[in-house]
Amino acid sequence: MKKQHKWWLWGLGTLVVIIIVALIGASLYFYNLTVARGKKSFIGGPTALKTSDPLYTQKHWFETAHKYRWTETAAGANFKLVADYVPAAKATKKTVVLVHGFASSKEQMGGYAGLFHQLGYNVLVPDDRAQGQSGGKAMSYGYFEARDYRKWINQVIAKQGPQSQIALFGVSMGGATTMIASGLKMPSQVKAYIEDCGYTTADAEIGYQAKQMYHLPYWPMVPLTSAVTKLKAGFTFKDADAVRAVKRNHRPMLFIHGGADTFVPTKMVYQVYRADAGPKELMVVPGAKHAASYSHSPQRYQRKVQHFLRQYLGE
């Protein structure tokens, strides 16, 4: 009996070790999938611009526009960030800083850059850390990126002077980054924020995607991957919290979301909108999928954005 008992304990112990090793391996895999720099197979890459694209004019303008290269040092790190700057056709102190999404780059923000250029603004379009031409090994879902954008904003002010008027605009992860930035101490020159289809928290979004894409429950993979992320990248998924941030925001914010968004579910915009403590407006575009509100309803989108910015940055 004692020998059988020992074999049973040995077998149980072996099984526990196998499970632990498997969980660690899986969490490292999901860390590489969700946080580490690199191509993400579940995210479509850039496609050739077609004249049938509803935002062809704006995107083509950005592709061919003369761009000035700006650089910045990442917040709390020693690697370089890169941005494209395009001044307005008519000299102005008004600038919109654009924040792209997950596994994206500044080149994919051409439609929005073209929009703000048409509206008369200077545009600054950086590559986020660990994406595009910028350095870094890990994305942080807005947590560190928000601090990077504060540095970009300070650079705009340094170059354009204290009369600068700045709006921060972001899409998807960029929308969440914009909201997280709104909870930081920002220069007074930041007059307004616009977020398009950002999530509530990285923890909630990653948990949602684990279920949608891999049919996995929240526990144990999301918390384990978050723990690996803390060790390897210095933040947890719960740190990237847009809800908590907008509760500290007292500047105007426009919230935009597609009514048919199933990647960042539409219900999330109502959560962040309710939590925001500043002057706020909400536009949900019926039928628009994720990050497609502008291309789905270009005229409505432009009118709303233009009206909002005119209230806070003036004509």
Give me the pLDDT at residue 1, please: 46
Does residue 41 lie in a domain region? no
| Boundaries of domain holding 79 | 54-201+240-313
Helix axes 221-233, 202-214, angle to 10 degrees: 130
Does residue 287 lie in a domain region? yes
pLDDT in tens, the chain (315 residues): 455 556 555 554 565 555 566 667 888 898 999 999 988 766 776 788 999 999 999 999 999 999 999 999 999 999 999 999 999 999 999 999 999 999 999 999 999 999 999 999 999 999 999 999 999 999 999 999 999 999 999 999 999 999 999 999 999 999 999 999 999 999 999 999 999 999 999 999 999 999 999 999 999 999 999 999 999 999 999 999 999 999 999 999 999 999 999 999 999 999 999 999 999 999 999 999 999 999 999 999 999 999 999 999 986
The CATH number given to whatever domain includes residue 74 is: 3.40.50.1820
The whole-angstrom separation of Cα 121 and Cα 197 is: 22
Give me the pLDDT at residue 40, please: 73
Sorted by sequence, the CB contacts under 8 Å of residue 299 that are 6+ apart come out as none
Does residue 273 lie in a domain region? yes
Helix (H, G, I), strand (E, B) or coil at 220: coil
Give me the pLDDT at residue 9, please: 54
Complete DSSP assignment for 129-165: TTSTTS--SB--TTTTHHHHHHHHHHHHHHHH-TT-E
Give me the pLDDT at residue 120, please: 98
**Is 202 exposed, middle or buried (CB count within 10 Å of its CB: 0-12, 13-18, 19+)?**
buried
Does residue 179 lie in a domain region? yes
Does residue 109 lie in a domain region? yes
Total number of domains constituting the chain: 1
Does residue 223 lie in a domain region? no
Does residue 232 lie in a domain region? no
Does residue 293 lie in a domain region? yes
Q: Among 146, 101, 69, 133, which residue's Cα sits nearest to residue 291? A: 101
